[in-house]
Amino acid sequence: MKKLFMMLMAGLLVTACASKPKTEQAAEEPAKKVLVLYYSVTNTTKQMAEYIQQKTGADIEAIAPVNAYPSDYSELIKRSQEEIQGNVLPELKPLAHNVADYDIIFLGYPIWMGTYARPVMTLLANTDFNGKTVIPFCTSGSSGIKQSVGDLQKAIPGAQIPQCVGVRSSLMDKMPAAVDRVLIAMDLIEGENEVLADYSAQQAPTAEETAIFDAAISTYDMMKGTKAVSVGSRKTSNGTDYKFVGEANGAQMDIYITKENGDAAPYFTAVDR
C-alpha cells in the first residue's frame, strides 16, 4: 500500500495531456459505468468530485446526512468528536443512484481525524460494494489519503481499490493534474503518465534538504517543531520529490515534499502518521 500511495501522490505532478471522456469514443468495448459519490461540508472535496465528473462524463451524487453537519468549523469538530465518542453513525438520505448499476465508483470525502468523514462510514455500512472498483479521493489540511484507504479496504473487502488520490486543500491548483493521473491510469481519459522512479534510500538530510524541509513545513502551523530525520528523493520532469521521515513529540511520520524546477517555494503534499 505504501508503494501504491507513493505512486499516487506523484499524481501531484502536472501532467500535460489533452483528454476527452473515453466513454464518448469507445466503440468496441462497452463503456464502464462510472459514478462519483462524495461527501463535502465546505465544498473543497465537491470541487474535486465535479472535476472528475466533468472529465469522465460520470453520474454524480452528494452523500447527504439527514441532519446536515454545521459548516462552522468549531461546531463541526464538536459534532464529529461527539459522534466518535458515542460511536454514532449519522443517518443518510437514500441515494438517488443505485451503486449496483455501476462498475467504477469514485468515492470522495474530507479527511476527518485521519480517515474518511463519518457520513462515508454510514454509506459503507449500508451499501454493497462487493465486486466494484472503488477509487477513493479526498481533500485534507495535511493528512495523506493512505490511512483512509486502509480503513476503506477493511470496511469493504470485496471491492478493488487500484488507485486513489488525495490533495491538500491549500494545493487545489495541483488537483487537476493529480486527478488526471488517476483517470489516465484507469483508462478513463486519454494521455500518458510519466513513469516515476522509486525514491532513493533514506539517509540523513543534507543542509540543503533540511532547508527545503523547514521551508515546506513552515507554511502549516501544526507541523511547526517537526524535525527532518531522514530523506529519500527522486527527480521528475517537474522538479524533485522528497520523502522525509519527520519527528515531533517522539512520533515519526512520512512527509512528502515537492520542489519544482525554478524559484518556486517547496511545498508538502501529504503527511502520513
Q: Which of 11, 21, 110, 176 binds ligand FMN (CB under 6 A)?
A: 110
- Measured CA to CA, the distance from residue 250 to residue 112 in angstroms comes to 23
Grid coordinates representing 101 are: 448499476
By CB under 6 A, the residues from 211 to 270 that bind ligand FMN are none
Q: Check residue 203 for interaction with ligand FMN (CB under 6 A).
A: no
CB nearer to ligand FMN: give 17 or 248.
248
CA-based Rg of the chain, rounded to a whole angstrom? 19
Q: Check residue 65 for interaction with ligand FMN (CB under 6 A).
A: no
Contact 135, 152 (CB under 8 A): no
Q: How far is the CB of 204 from ligand FMN (least distance, A)?
A: 27
* Among the residue ranges 104-112, 119-127, 178-186, 204-212, the one whose residues contact ligand FMN (CB under 6 A): 104-112
- Measured CA to CA, the distance from residue 45 to residue 35 in angstroms comes to 15
Q: Which of 57, 114, 191, 239 binds ligand FMN (CB under 6 A)?
A: 114
Q: Give whole-number Cα distances, 179 to 69, 85, 142, 186, 241, in Å.
A: 27, 34, 18, 11, 18
Q: How far is the CB of 142 from ligand FMN (least distance, A)?
A: 4
Q: Which of 26, 64, 68, 77 binds ligand FMN (CB under 6 A)?
A: 77
Query: Helical H runs in the chain?
Result: 2-9, 44-56, 73-86, 118-126, 146-155, 175-185, 207-217
Which stretches of the chain bind ligand FMN, using CB under 6 A? 40-46, 76-77, 80, 110-114, 139-143, 169
